[in-house]
Amino acid sequence: SQTIHQWPATLVQPVGSPLSLECTVEGTSNPNLYWYRQAAGRGLQLLFYSVGIGQISSEVPQNLSASRPQDRQFILSSKKLLLSDSGFYLCAWSPGRLATNEKLFFGSGTQLSVL
Amino acid sequence: SQQGEEDPQALSIQEGENATMNCSYKTSINNLQWYRQNSGRGLVHLILIRSNEREKHSGRLRVTLDTSKKSSSLLITASRAADTASYFCATVALRGGFKTIFGAGTRLFVKA
Protein backbone atom coordinates (compact mmCIF):
# COMPACT_ATOMS: atom_id res chain seq x y z
CA SER A 1 0.00 0.00 0.00
CA GLN A 2 1.04 3.59 -0.50
CA THR A 3 2.22 5.80 2.32
CA ILE A 4 3.40 9.38 2.57
CA HIS A 5 5.89 10.59 5.12
CA GLN A 6 6.37 14.22 6.03
CA TRP A 7 8.72 15.59 8.65
CA PRO A 8 9.26 17.21 11.03
CA ALA A 9 5.83 17.48 12.67
CA THR A 10 6.67 20.80 14.31
CA LEU A 11 9.40 23.31 13.71
CA VAL A 12 10.30 26.61 15.35
CA GLN A 13 12.75 28.72 13.38
CA PRO A 14 14.11 32.25 13.80
CA VAL A 15 13.51 34.87 11.13
CA GLY A 16 16.25 34.76 8.52
CA SER A 17 17.13 31.12 9.05
CA PRO A 18 16.95 28.51 6.25
CA LEU A 19 14.21 25.91 5.89
CA SER A 20 14.06 22.42 4.50
CA LEU A 21 10.93 20.27 4.74
CA GLU A 22 10.98 16.82 3.23
CA CYS A 23 8.23 14.58 1.96
CA THR A 24 8.56 11.05 0.61
CA VAL A 25 6.03 8.67 -0.87
CA GLU A 26 6.28 4.90 -0.78
CA GLY A 27 4.46 2.19 -2.67
CA THR A 28 3.84 4.03 -5.93
CA SER A 29 5.84 5.36 -8.83
CA ASN A 30 5.71 8.61 -10.78
CA PRO A 31 3.26 10.33 -8.42
CA ASN A 32 2.20 13.93 -8.77
CA LEU A 33 3.48 15.78 -5.69
CA TYR A 34 2.17 18.89 -3.99
CA TRP A 35 3.02 21.40 -1.28
CA TYR A 36 0.16 23.33 0.34
CA ARG A 37 0.21 25.90 3.15
CA GLN A 38 -2.65 26.46 5.56
CA ALA A 39 -2.94 29.53 7.76
CA ALA A 40 -4.65 29.02 11.11
CA GLY A 41 -8.35 28.33 10.63
CA ARG A 42 -8.14 28.86 6.88
CA GLY A 43 -8.16 26.91 3.65
CA LEU A 44 -5.23 25.45 1.78
CA GLN A 45 -3.08 27.51 -0.53
CA LEU A 46 -1.34 25.58 -3.32
CA LEU A 47 2.36 26.48 -3.31
CA PHE A 48 4.04 24.05 -5.71
CA TYR A 49 3.26 20.91 -7.64
CA SER A 50 5.38 18.50 -9.64
CA VAL A 51 4.48 15.93 -12.27
CA GLY A 52 7.98 14.49 -12.59
CA ILE A 53 11.60 14.64 -11.45
CA GLY A 54 12.95 18.16 -11.82
CA GLN A 55 9.57 19.51 -12.97
CA ILE A 56 8.25 22.14 -10.57
CA SER A 57 5.28 24.45 -11.06
CA SER A 58 5.07 27.43 -8.74
CA GLU A 59 1.66 28.83 -7.97
CA VAL A 60 2.45 31.75 -5.71
CA PRO A 61 5.48 34.04 -5.90
CA GLN A 62 7.06 33.92 -2.48
CA ASN A 63 10.05 33.28 -0.35
CA LEU A 64 9.94 29.54 -0.89
CA SER A 65 11.20 27.06 -3.47
CA ALA A 66 10.62 23.38 -4.13
CA SER A 67 12.70 20.59 -5.61
CA ARG A 68 12.10 17.01 -6.65
CA PRO A 69 15.48 15.30 -6.72
CA GLN A 70 14.00 11.79 -6.87
CA ASP A 71 10.74 10.36 -8.16
CA ARG A 72 9.12 10.06 -4.74
CA GLN A 73 10.85 12.87 -2.86
CA PHE A 74 9.63 16.46 -2.66
CA ILE A 75 11.47 19.15 -0.72
CA LEU A 76 10.29 22.62 0.31
CA SER A 77 13.04 25.13 1.02
CA SER A 78 13.75 28.69 1.93
CA LYS A 79 17.07 30.51 2.19
CA LYS A 80 15.77 33.08 4.69
CA LEU A 81 12.49 32.63 6.53
CA LEU A 82 10.06 35.51 7.05
CA LEU A 83 7.46 35.85 9.78
CA SER A 84 4.79 35.44 7.11
CA ASP A 85 6.12 31.96 6.28
CA SER A 86 4.57 30.62 9.48
CA GLY A 87 1.80 28.12 8.90
CA PHE A 88 0.83 24.49 8.54
CA TYR A 89 2.57 22.90 5.56
CA LEU A 90 1.04 19.87 3.94
CA CYS A 91 2.55 17.55 1.38
CA ALA A 92 0.26 15.48 -0.83
CA TRP A 93 0.43 13.05 -3.72
CA SER A 94 -1.88 11.80 -6.41
CA PRO A 95 -1.55 8.98 -8.94
CA GLY A 96 0.44 10.15 -11.91
CA ARG A 97 -1.12 7.80 -14.42
CA LEU A 98 -4.39 9.75 -14.53
CA ALA A 99 -4.91 12.71 -16.81
CA THR A 100 -6.76 14.64 -14.12
CA ASN A 101 -6.49 14.76 -10.35
CA GLU A 102 -9.28 12.85 -8.69
CA LYS A 103 -7.89 12.28 -5.22
CA LEU A 104 -5.10 13.68 -3.10
CA PHE A 105 -3.42 11.75 -0.30
CA PHE A 106 -2.03 14.02 2.40
CA GLY A 107 0.83 13.76 4.82
CA SER A 108 0.33 14.62 8.48
CA GLY A 109 1.71 18.14 8.07
CA THR A 110 4.43 20.33 9.54
CA GLN A 111 3.53 23.19 11.85
CA LEU A 112 6.12 25.89 11.19
CA SER A 113 6.47 28.83 13.54
CA VAL A 114 8.85 31.60 12.52
CA LEU A 115 9.77 33.83 15.44
CA SER B 1 -9.05 32.73 -8.47
CA GLN B 2 -10.61 29.38 -9.23
CA GLN B 3 -12.20 28.85 -5.86
CA GLY B 4 -15.08 30.77 -4.38
CA GLU B 5 -16.59 30.57 -0.96
CA GLU B 6 -17.82 27.92 1.38
CA ASP B 7 -20.65 28.51 3.75
CA PRO B 8 -21.26 28.46 6.52
CA GLN B 9 -17.80 29.12 7.91
CA ALA B 10 -18.82 27.29 11.06
CA LEU B 11 -21.73 25.04 11.96
CA SER B 12 -22.78 23.66 15.34
CA ILE B 13 -25.44 20.95 15.55
CA GLN B 14 -26.69 18.24 17.86
CA GLU B 15 -25.84 14.60 17.36
CA GLY B 16 -28.40 12.95 15.10
CA GLU B 17 -29.13 16.09 13.10
CA ASN B 18 -28.14 16.57 9.48
CA ALA B 19 -25.32 18.92 8.50
CA THR B 20 -25.26 20.74 5.17
CA MET B 21 -22.24 22.59 3.83
CA ASN B 22 -22.11 24.58 0.62
CA CYS B 23 -19.33 25.40 -1.78
CA SER B 24 -19.18 27.78 -4.73
CA TYR B 25 -16.52 28.05 -7.40
CA LYS B 26 -15.74 30.34 -10.29
CA THR B 27 -14.36 28.40 -13.25
CA SER B 28 -15.57 25.43 -15.30
CA ILE B 29 -14.48 22.27 -13.58
CA ASN B 30 -13.54 18.71 -14.40
CA ASN B 31 -14.46 17.47 -10.94
CA LEU B 32 -15.14 18.58 -7.39
CA GLN B 33 -13.95 16.77 -4.29
CA TRP B 34 -14.76 16.98 -0.60
CA TYR B 35 -12.18 16.45 2.14
CA ARG B 36 -12.24 16.24 5.89
CA GLN B 37 -9.57 17.53 8.27
CA ASN B 38 -9.35 16.78 11.95
CA SER B 39 -7.63 19.49 13.93
CA GLY B 40 -3.90 19.65 13.26
CA ARG B 41 -3.93 16.72 10.85
CA GLY B 42 -3.74 16.11 7.13
CA LEU B 43 -6.83 16.05 4.94
CA VAL B 44 -8.70 12.89 4.05
CA HIS B 45 -10.57 12.49 0.77
CA LEU B 46 -14.29 11.82 1.25
CA ILE B 47 -15.96 11.83 -2.14
CA LEU B 48 -15.54 12.98 -5.73
CA ILE B 49 -18.22 14.18 -8.13
CA ARG B 50 -17.51 14.71 -11.82
CA SER B 51 -18.84 17.64 -13.81
CA ASN B 52 -21.34 15.43 -15.65
CA GLU B 53 -22.80 14.08 -12.42
CA ARG B 54 -25.48 15.77 -10.31
CA GLU B 55 -25.53 13.68 -7.15
CA LYS B 56 -23.45 11.02 -5.42
CA HIS B 57 -23.82 9.07 -2.23
CA SER B 58 -21.31 7.38 0.02
CA GLY B 59 -22.59 6.01 3.32
CA ARG B 60 -24.00 8.96 5.27
CA LEU B 61 -22.60 11.46 2.75
CA ARG B 62 -24.58 12.97 -0.09
CA VAL B 63 -22.99 15.39 -2.52
CA THR B 64 -24.78 17.44 -5.14
CA LEU B 65 -23.33 19.48 -7.96
CA ASP B 66 -25.01 22.26 -9.92
CA THR B 67 -22.65 23.34 -12.69
CA SER B 68 -25.05 26.04 -13.90
CA LYS B 69 -24.77 27.74 -10.52
CA LYS B 70 -21.17 26.64 -9.98
CA SER B 71 -22.03 25.24 -6.58
CA SER B 72 -21.95 22.02 -4.60
CA SER B 73 -23.31 20.87 -1.28
CA LEU B 74 -22.24 18.18 1.15
CA LEU B 75 -24.89 16.65 3.38
CA ILE B 76 -23.92 14.50 6.35
CA THR B 77 -26.95 12.65 7.68
CA ALA B 78 -27.48 11.50 11.26
CA SER B 79 -24.33 13.28 12.42
CA ARG B 80 -22.15 11.90 15.19
CA ALA B 81 -19.74 13.59 17.59
CA ALA B 82 -16.94 11.91 15.63
CA ASP B 83 -17.95 13.94 12.56
CA THR B 84 -16.58 17.06 14.28
CA ALA B 85 -13.93 18.35 11.87
CA SER B 86 -13.34 20.88 9.11
CA TYR B 87 -14.70 20.07 5.68
CA PHE B 88 -13.25 21.44 2.47
CA CYS B 89 -14.34 21.36 -1.12
CA ALA B 90 -11.68 21.28 -3.80
CA THR B 91 -11.94 21.75 -7.53
CA VAL B 92 -9.96 20.66 -10.55
CA ALA B 93 -10.49 23.06 -13.42
CA LEU B 94 -11.62 21.79 -16.80
CA ARG B 95 -8.12 22.25 -18.18
CA GLY B 96 -6.42 22.24 -14.79
CA GLY B 97 -5.16 18.70 -15.01
CA PHE B 98 -3.19 18.30 -11.83
CA LYS B 99 -4.00 21.44 -9.88
CA THR B 100 -6.47 20.99 -7.04
CA ILE B 101 -7.69 24.22 -5.48
CA PHE B 102 -9.30 24.29 -2.05
CA GLY B 103 -11.91 26.49 -0.50
CA ALA B 104 -11.72 28.03 2.97
CA GLY B 105 -13.68 25.22 4.59
CA THR B 106 -16.54 24.78 7.03
CA ARG B 107 -15.84 23.92 10.64
CA LEU B 108 -18.44 21.47 11.90
CA PHE B 109 -19.01 20.86 15.58
CA VAL B 110 -21.37 18.05 16.55
CA LYS B 111 -22.51 18.14 20.16
CA ALA B 112 -23.12 14.87 21.92
**Mean local confidence (pLDDT), A12-25:** 97
- pLDDT score of B95: 78
Question: What b-and-e string marks burial along B63-96, b requiring 16 or more CB atoms within 10 Å of the CB?
Answer: bbbeeeebbbbbebeebeeebbbbbbbbbbbeeb
The separation between CA B33 and the C-alpha centre of its own chain, rounded to angstroms, equals 7
Contact assignment for A104 to B92 by CB distance below 8 Å: no
Task: Tell me the pLDDT tens digit for each residue of B52-107.
Answer: 999 999 999 999 999 999 999 999 999 999 999 999 999 998 877 788 999 999 99
- pLDDT score of A101: 85
Domains of chain A by range and CATH?
3-95+104-114 (2.60.40.10)
Question: For residue B100, which residues of chain A lie inside 8 Å, CB to CB?
Answer: 34, 46, 94, 101, 104
Is any Cβ of chain B less than 8 angstroms from the Cβ of A90? yes
Task: Tell me the pLDDT tens digit for each residue of B15-43.
Answer: 999 999 999 999 999 999 999 999 989 99
pLDDT of A14 strictly over 90: yes
With beta carbons less than 8 A apart as the criterion, state whether B47 and B34 touch: yes
- pLDDT score of B59: 97
Task: Tell me the pLDDT tens digit for each residue of A79-106.
Answer: 999 999 999 999 999 998 777 888 999 9
Tell me how long chain B is: 112
The separation between CA B112 and the C-alpha centre of its own chain, rounded to angstroms, equals 23
Which of B90, B48, B51, B89 shows the shortest CA–CA distance to B67? Answer: B51
Domains of chain B by range and CATH?
3-111 (2.60.40.10)
SS3 at position A84: helix
Strand partners, A38: A44, A88
With beta carbons less than 8 A apart as the criterion, state whether A76 and A95 touch: no
